[in-house]
Chains A and B, each alone.
Chain A
Amino acid sequence: MSSGARLRGAASLLGTVPFFAYVTIFLIIPTLVVAIGAFTGDGGHGFTLDNLGALGDAYILAAFGRSVVLSALSALFGAVLGGLLAYAVSTARPDGLLRRVVTALSGVLAQFGGVTLAFAFLATIGLSGFVTVWLQDHTGVNIFENGVWLFELPGLVLVYTYFQIPLMVIVFLPALDGLRPQWREATESLGGTTREYWTRVAGPLLAPAFLGSALLLFANAFSAYATAAALVSQGSPIIPLQIRGALTSEVVLGQANVGKAMALGMVVVVAIVMTLYSLLQKRTSKWLG
């Protein structure tokens, strides 16, 4: 390379300076603050493993456990119900109104979370919610007979499922579209039944896509904060809420960097899940692309 070309190359790099500077300040530095803070002692200096060790404390382990259960259950329900909905839509006309409306609505509802979703469920099955009151008045059934489960894990699973189903439709529909009708015809001409088609042809073909989508749903639920924060005001059952506690009560000595360790733990979980997701996604695009 001549020096002139090298100079031009360096000059072109100048055009990207604003972008890289911005991303460094507001994305890279925060990431490093978390990563380094997780290994830093209370005074702000000195390497330590105490913060990571604190992740072994019973209450943090329990919160991690509940986060995993919540994410896994809402991913399972979301994947199964969303998968059924995606299949129902995929059997309709590809350019029909039904399909366009369902995919458009799914795109919207998958983004629907946070405070508004929490309030929607409070208005529905809160203590004075529409359904709660209606059931009490018309059938005498009290849905909170055994305690107010809406603000605990079962309630969170229900509310999270609301945005997981549409997300499943969005990510799983392309895989279903990859199933060719010829494969079904081939199964039939070889004497296969519908059941055999699903268990021995379509099932194995769709398995990586289904599993991958479920993993994406898991990561989605695992990183969600706003919905739970708006719904749960007492206690911190799941990890994002524990981090809120560590952030807002920095007066408690030594909690700030434990918060960073928990944050790092979340990133590690999400990164592992997303890596598996992209591996499965590659397999899917090979088989059903």
Chain B
Amino acid sequence: MAGVIARRARRQRAFRWAVLVVLGVFFALPMAAMVEFSTRTPGTWSLLANWSRLDETYPALAEGIVASLEQAALTALLMLVLLVPTAIWVRLRLPRIRRLVEFLCLLPLTIPAIVLVVGLAPVYAWVNYLVGGSALTLVFAYTILVLPYAYRAIDAGLSAIDVTTLAEAARGLGAGWLTVMWRVVLPNIRSAVLSAAFLTVALVLGEFTVASLLHRTNLQVAIEFLGKSSATVSVAVSLTALLLAFVLLLLLSLAGSSRRAKK
């Protein structure tokens, strides 16, 4: 029996490494190719590191980068303001409509972004009319796009703690609802809020569909536009954006798994 198990472990190890090597090459090759491609024209990377020169040479790209960073920050903010108090409030006071809120939050998963854009076009005609056509108005649509991911993160955080007892204890000591949310519940779901914000930033930095079809700029739109004239720079910027999103999401998932491991 021991021989069988040892033989199976050996076979599994061989299989494991074969699969990992083959798929590893498949996944690493495009990354390596991006590095190679972006170093074909000397000076591409030093240009990227020099903001004022980049702004001068490729103003559209610089504009897109700034727009995306602003969109990411504002979307994270709006998402948190909208979702966190609602999620806490529904758990505490309105458990009956929790399913409805969950359904609405997860709905964007079944509505492809391209379909949402079709429906958003008339809504954005009003947005244009009321607040103008700035790239920052995309934040409204992005908050909807990130809703499922943010909701799941925050809901998981709330499920892990006993919200009702915490709130009742605080209320019993004379705290108002604002104090309960801000000083009692929020500190307890800090890591969930943080992961919702991280996911939001990563998704917004990679968003292309809505921005390009509503004729507003962001990083991805700028990269795509630039790709037509100077491929090297656009591949270099793609790689940078990608690495940034990688670092964000890797930090997130490694933090998540180490937290689970501790439990």
Interface residues of chain A, those whose CB is within 8 Å of chain B, are 12-13, 15-16, 18-19, 22-23, 25-27, 29-34, 37, 81, 84-85, 88-89, 91-92, 95, 98, 100, 102-105, 107-109, 111-117, 119-124, 129-131, 162, 165, 188, 194, 222-226, 229-230, 240, 243-244, 247-248, 259-260, 263-264, 266-267, 270-271, 274
* Chain A residues whose CB sits within 8 angstroms of the CB of B141 once the complex forms: 26
Chain A residues closer than 8 Å to B120, beta-carbon distance:
26, 30
Given A88-B15, A225-B209, residue A123 in contact with residue B122 (CB < 8 A) = no
* B203 interface neighbour in A12, A26, A111, A116, Cβ under 8 Å: A111
Give the chain B neighbours of A165 by CB distance below 8 A: 23, 27
Can you show 28 pairs from A to B with CB atoms below 8 A apart? A12-B89, A16-B89, A16-B90, A19-B86, A23-B104, A26-B143, A27-B108, A34-B118, A37-B118, A91-B13, A91-B16, A95-B261, A104-B253, A111-B203, A119-B34, A119-B231, A120-B33, A120-B238, A124-B29, A124-B30, A129-B33, A130-B37, A162-B26, A223-B113, A223-B114, A224-B112, A226-B207, A267-B112
Interface string of B104-139 (1 = CB under 8 A from A): 100111111111111111110000000000000000
Which residues from B are CB-within-8-Å of A98? Answer: 20
CB of B160 within 8 Å of the partner chain: no
> Looking across the interface, which residue of chain B has its beta carbon closest to that of A259?
B118
Task: Give the distance in Å from the alpha carbon of A3 to the alpha carbon of B155 in the complex.
Answer: 32
The residue that A116 contacts in the complex, of B16, B19, B113, B220, with Cβ under 8 A, is: B220
With A26-B143, A114-B208, A225-B112 given, name 12 new contacts (CB 8 A). A19-B83, A25-B123, A27-B144, A30-B116, A112-B242, A119-B238, A120-B242, A165-B23, A240-B112, A259-B118, A267-B112, A270-B112
Count A-B pairs with CB separation below 8 Å.
228
Q: Which of A109, A112, A114, A240 contacts B220 (CB 8 A)?
A: A114
Give chain A residues whose Cβ lies under 8 Å from the Cβ of B31.
Answer: 120
Establish whether residues A267 and B115, one from each chain, have CB atoms under 8 Å apart when the complex forms: yes
Contacts of B234 in A (CB 8 A): 119
Which B residues are CB-close (under 8 A) to A92? 16
Chain B contacts for A117, CB-based, 8 A: 30
Q: Is the CB of B257 within 8 A of A104?
A: yes
**Shortest distance between the CB of A87 and any CB in chain B (Å):** 8
B residues with a Cβ closer than 8 A to A are 4, 8, 12-13, 15-16, 19-20, 23, 26-27, 29-34, 36-38, 82-83, 85-86, 89-90, 93-94, 97, 101, 104, 107-123, 140-141, 143-144, 147, 202-203, 206-209, 212-213, 220, 223-224, 227, 231, 234-235, 238-239, 241-242, 245-246, 249-250, 252-254, 257, 261
